[in-house]
Amino acid sequence: MTRHIDIAVNLLSANLIDNASEIISQAAAEQVSPLIVIGSELTESRQAVSLCQQYAQQLYCTVGVHPHYARLWTDSSAETIRQLVKDNSVVAIGECGLDYNRDFSPRDQQRLAFEAQLQLACELNLPIYMHCRDAHTDFIQLVNQYKDQLPKAVLHCFTGDKQALDECLAAGLYIGITGWVCDERRGQELAELVKYIPNDRIMVETDAPYLLPRSMRPKPKSSKNLPQYLPYIVQSIATLRQQDYAELAQHCYNNSCRFFNIAHIL
């Protein structure tokens, strides 16, 4: 049986949370389970833990501060994360990293919050779940400072170039691929690069409700991306890699189980 884990579901988004139970069930019907719920700031991280407690083994979560919210990082933020990770549903620190595309937080504050969370991942011996957009030079420099102490690290929603991919792989990172690869306008470079990701480093994600695959036919009536669409993304990646769908799906599933320490390996 082909099974999947969606490593990026923004289930607490206003576009999804009201239908959480239905979304979880529809995903499971397509063999997409469990789901990794993303905590992008501390209030949302607390909510993510609470939601996961309602859906044990169907949902796991990350807790952290996204670069968009780095301006909210304070001296007490690290202690809040230390308390949250005591719950068994928490499987990674993050989503954290750098985003110089939108600059919703000043770049110095982004770097400060990111480094603090890298340190936390090392201290707590937890995987780190990372974001990077238009900030690769500073991102990889910080990652390389901590790579030997980090238990595991993933760059989710990778959209960089070949040099960035090579440097991320050299740093030992796992690579998360989204439906961006299905976008004929802006995903062409990524479509060329997915073949270079080793079988033991690739994971897959919808980043729901964002990044609905543009090539889906028929197009879903709603513009919202959902975890149930993950098999379509896997099939698209498999085609680009000239790889059997079931083989790629199993690699992605097992990689995700190992990364998040979830005991469902096939």
Query: What is the rounded distance in angstroms from the CA atom of residue 262 to the CA atom of residue 7?
Result: 12
Helix, strand, coil percent values for the chain (each to nearest 5) = 45, 15, 35
Residue ranges of the annotated binding site for a divalent metal cation are: 95, 131, 156, 207
Q: Locate 201 and state its tokens.
A: 């480093």
Bond before 218 cis per omega within 30 degrees: yes
Of the candidates 92, 66, 88, the one whose C-alpha atom is nearest the C-alpha of residue 77 is: 66
Q: Give the relative orientation of helices 230-241 and 245-260 as an angle to the nearest 10 degrees.
A: 120
Query: What is the rounded distance in angstroms from the CA atom of residue 81 to the CA atom of residue 167?
Result: 29
DSSP letter (8 states) at residue 156: -
End-to-end Cα separation, the chain, in angstroms: 9
Query: What is the rounded distance in angstroms from the CA atom of residue 137 to the CA atom of residue 79?
Result: 29
Residue ranges of the annotated binding site are: 95, 131, 156, 207
Query: What is the rounded distance in angstroms from the CA atom of residue 72 to the CA atom of residue 6?
Result: 28
